[in-house]
Amino acid sequence: MDADDDANGTCFPYDVLVDILRRLPGRALAESRCVCRPWRAIVDVHNLLLPHAFPREFPGVYTTYYGFSSPSAFFARPTSRPGSQRPFIWGDWSPAVQQHCNGLLLIRDRYNFADAKDVYVCNPATMRCALLPSPPTPWPCDVEGMFLAFDPAVSRHHEVFLLPAKKMPPRRLDLEQIDPSGSASEFVELEGDMLKNRTVPLLVFSSRIGEWENQKFAPGRCAPGHLYDVVMAPHGVQKRAWSGEYWRGSLYVHCHSGVLMILRCSQRMYDMVQLPGISPPYDDEKYRDYTWSLPTRSVLASYERGVRYVTLQKCHLLVWALVESTNGKLEWMLAHEADLKPYDYLITSFN
């Protein structure tokens, strides 16, 4: 037995332990992942749960169109079951996809978020829908962001994270100190218990218990105070968060202020890191003729490759990879760069 054997918490060599875990059934493997951090790292690094998570043929593709009268569609092979029907979300009803996560869809009943009354979690593969109970906050006017967290390799249950709007205490900031993105050029120490402790309040719905729960996320190992101030500063009519990606137990929230907030769900802690590239405020209209109305900034997550940040300015495509070191440090590494101008005619034909 060597140092590596001690590190994995057993007397087995590392490669032997990997082989043992690989032979376990899916549910037992998911439980083994929760034994200790070394075992969790082994399962994640070798993607041992991936074959158990997606053993079936993919049933179809769900798409959302923006700017059309029918914004959603589900493409799949014709069913062989007689009399089967799709649920109402694929009928005459015009829903809007708020977010997707590992096969589940978070859908609101109105295309405009401000008009939404009901939100559903839907599974296109099984055609099942579940109505979320009303959250204990004015809906939807006091909601800054709503995100779905689901990993079928770990649990059949899902969670929905809601970022409620908080009225900020008075701050002595001149108008020129706050740009349109909500960032402040100079930071004043914020007042109030929440801001003093720099916690992030969230409402979390769990399908396991079927109700909303108030949770507060504390600063993690990489949570600079100035980034917290930027994210939590007053920001006018813009929503604080744009999108969220769930990857290996953490929710990566793309904030409007050029900050990526990482919610460590099981630990109830958060980290923050500045996004690379151009800092806010963003001038998307300036590049609209060059980007074919495609997204100009996106946070993406891949089970195998991790978290990526993609920017598209004019015809210049940049892809950064988020690197998380063992000591908690977060940094970006440029992973890909491309000039899309030669493919202008192809992209235009699909747009």
Domain co-membership, 182 together with 276: yes
How many C-alpha atoms does 40 have within 13 Å on its Cβ side? 7
Dihedral angle sign, alpha carbons of residues 38, 39, 44, 45: positive
Give the pLDDT confidence of 150-192 residue by residue, as tens digits: 988 788 899 999 987 764 444 443 333 444 444 333 333 444 4
Domain co-membership, 149 together with 124: no
pLDDT of residue 41 exceeding 80: yes
In this structure, of 78-92, 306-320, 333-347, the range with the lowest mean pLDDT score is 78-92
Domain co-membership, 187 together with 234: yes
C-alpha torsion angle, residues 93, 122, 140, 64 (rounded to 10): -60
pLDDT of residue 67 exceeding 90: no
pLDDT of residue 212 exceeding 90: yes
Q: DSSP string spanning 288-309?
A: HHHHTT--SEEEEEETTTEEEE
Provide the pLDDT for residue 150. 93
Q: Which two tokens stand for residue 67?
A: 């700017």
Provide the pLDDT for residue 58. 56
Count: domains in the chain: 3
In whole angstroms, what is the distance from residue 54 CA to residue 152 CA?
Answer: 8
More confident residue, 300 or 171: 300
More confident residue, 104 or 233: 104
Domain co-membership, 95 together with 228: no
Assessment of whether the complete model's pTM goes beyond 0.85 = no
More confident residue, 76 or 108: 108
Domain co-membership, 286 together with 185: yes
Provide the pLDDT for residue 160. 94
In whole angstroms, what is the distance from residue 68 CA to residue 93 CA?
Answer: 14
Helix, coil or strand: residue 335: strand
Provide the pLDDT for residue 52. 61
> DSSP class of residue 285?
G
In whole angstroms, what is the distance from residue 267 CA to residue 155 CA?
Answer: 17
Domain co-membership, 109 together with 222: no
Per the CB < 8 A criterion, the answer to whether 297 and 260 are in contact is: no
Provide the pLDDT for residue 7. 57
pLDDT of residue 263 exceeding 90: yes
Q: DSSP string spanning 204-251?
A: EEETTTTEEEEEEEEE-SS--HHHHHHHHS--TTS-SEEEEEEETTEE
In this structure, of 90-99, 162-171, 274-283, the range with the lowest mean pLDDT score is 162-171
Q: Is 131 exposed, middle or buried (0-12, 13-18, 19+ CB in 10 A)?
A: exposed
- Domain hosting 291: range is 133-350
Domain co-membership, 226 together with 113: no
**What does the mean pLDDT of the chain come to?**
75
Domain co-membership, 294 together with 167: yes
**Packing angle between helix 14-22 and helix 37-45, nearest 10 degrees?**
70
In this structure, of 15-19, 29-33, 248-252, 279-283, the range with the lowest mean pLDDT score is 279-283
pLDDT of residue 27 exceeding 80: no
Domain co-membership, 229 together with 104: no
Give the pLDDT band (50/70/90) at residue 238: low
Kindly state the average pLDDT of the residues 49-70.
56
Provide the pLDDT for residue 343. 78
pLDDT of residue 96 exceeding 90: no
More confident residue, 290 or 295: 295
Domain co-membership, 123 together with 255: no
